[in-house]
Amino acid sequence: MRLTISSTALASRLSALSKVFSSKNSLPILDCYLFEVNGNHLTITASDSENIMTTNIQLDETCDSGVFAVNNQTILDAVKELPEQPLTLDVDMTTFAIKVIYQNGVYNFTGQSGEEFPKFQSLPENATSIIIDSKTLNNDISRSIFATANEELRPVMNGIFFDLSQDTLAIVASDGHKLVKTKSKNIKSDNPLSFILPKKPATLLKNVLQKNDDDIIIRFDDRNANIIFSDGTLSCRLIEGRYPNYNSVIPQDNPNQLTIDRLVLIGVLKRVLPFASDSSQQIRLHIEMGKVVISSEDVDFYTSAQEEIVCDYNGNIMDIGFKGTSLMEILSHLDCEEVVLKLADPSRPCLILPAEQPENEDILMLIMPMLLND
């Protein structure tokens, strides 16, 4: 069997799929890409047994159809450094000897049969489907994945929660110290539905979704999901269990409101945070009308830093502490000019919102304060 394909197209698709592979596989075949050729259509698949990702490519020319598997490192190393040019893959379907012919040379290596490659269990016909545009899904995953946890005792916290109601689709992530919730107002369902997408398939999606308005179809049942995007699919197992009631931890009335330039605040944190204690990473905000003083201190090494910036504040004078790295993460995953911090007192959660919400979306982030040692 012989097929011709663009070198850069092949390299980019293999590179995207390479993130599926696991360092510890139960089956040797899971170290391989599966190539399925049907006419002028090529499907490449990678799997770690829990996640199966495919990509589709139109071939320049082919003369046959067939299925074979190739070690992921062998084929990726062979093509990733080649400049743009047509590649010809000549595959002996009896011995699985593979010859890759390019402009000034040739690679020879051996593949294997693809018959043992695992297939994803198909979803039932009555599986639930939702449609969301690629840009929205990409933004929501990118905005929330940093807030997921890494816990063995509560695995439900290790994924992104999709909560579909009659009014909105809420996408939520939390590790117990910080929380991100994005509500998409133009996606809704007559019947409340939900699922928890694990962190790995969420990361894989973030890497392949384009920032355009192509529709993404998500089909899911109680255990599995199948996500169909413009040039491929991702099938994965979902995290089973009941996600905590995230709305119960979001305060409804934080009367003290601070509005501040997001990039200015990030810049101050970058300058002040290196002087904080390595163990706590605590920074202090002294907030009063018209200004906020941001400071840090490490009593063990006699280091400290303090900087004052202007702000718009309507509330009581307050001193509140946060983990500086967590506050930086939250601010870095927003893309607005100004943020609003809604505060109640130094012991209650702080809400961080964009000063202007994106169209048809409602973004909310929450951070728990740290006890100040006065």
Domain ranges within the chain, ordered by starting residue? 2-110, 128-248, 250-367
Q: What are phi and psi of 233, to 5 degrees?
A: -140, 160
Residue 188 pLDDT > 90, yes or no? Answer: no
Residue 211 pLDDT > 80, yes or no? Answer: no
Looking at domain 128-248, its CATH superfamily turns out to be: DNA Polymerase III, subunit A, domain 2 (3.10.150.10)
CA distance 307 to 303: 14
Instruction: Please work out, in degrees rounded to the nearest 5, the angle formed at the alpha carbon of residue 58 by the alpha carbons of 56 and 59.
Output: 125
At residue 82, the pLDDT reads 93
At residue 25, the pLDDT reads 80
pLDDT tens digits along 96-154: 999 999 998 999 999 999 988 988 778 888 888 999 999 999 999 999 999 999 988 89
Would you tell me which CATH number, out of the four given (1.20.58.220, 3.90.550.10, 3.40.190.10, 3.10.150.10), belongs to the domain 2-110?
Answer: 3.10.150.10
The rounded mean pLDDT for the chain is 93
* Cβ–Cβ under 8 Å, residues 230 and 299: no
Q: Which residues contact 43 (CB under 8 A, 6 or more apart)?
A: 35, 36, 54, 55, 56, 57
Q: What average pLDDT does the segment 340-355 reach?
A: 96
At residue 214, the pLDDT reads 86
Q: Among candidates 162, 191, 7, which has minimal Cα distance to 81?
A: 7
CA distance 33 to 317: 60
Q: Among candidates 126, 127, 120, 108, which has minimal Cα distance to 70?
A: 108
The alpha helices in the chain, defined as continuous H runs, are: 7-18, 72-79, 134-144, 199-208, 262-272, 324-332
Q: What average pLDDT does the segment 248-266 reach?
A: 96
* Cβ–Cβ under 8 Å, residues 334 and 356: no
pLDDT tens digits along 47-70: 998 999 999 998 877 667 899 999
* CA-based radius of gyration for the chain: 25
Q: What average pLDDT does the segment 217-244 reach?
A: 94
DSSP letters along 222-262, please? SSEEEEEETTEEEEEEPPPSPPP-GGGGS-S---EEEEEEH
* Cβ–Cβ under 8 Å, residues 335 and 361: no
DSSP letters along 81-109, please? TPPS-EEEEEE-TTT-EEEEEETTEEEEE
Name residue 71's beta-bridge partners. 32
Global pTM? 0.92
Q: Which residue has the higher pLDDT, 23 or 282?
A: 282
CATH 3.30.70.1450, domain 250-367, yes or no: no
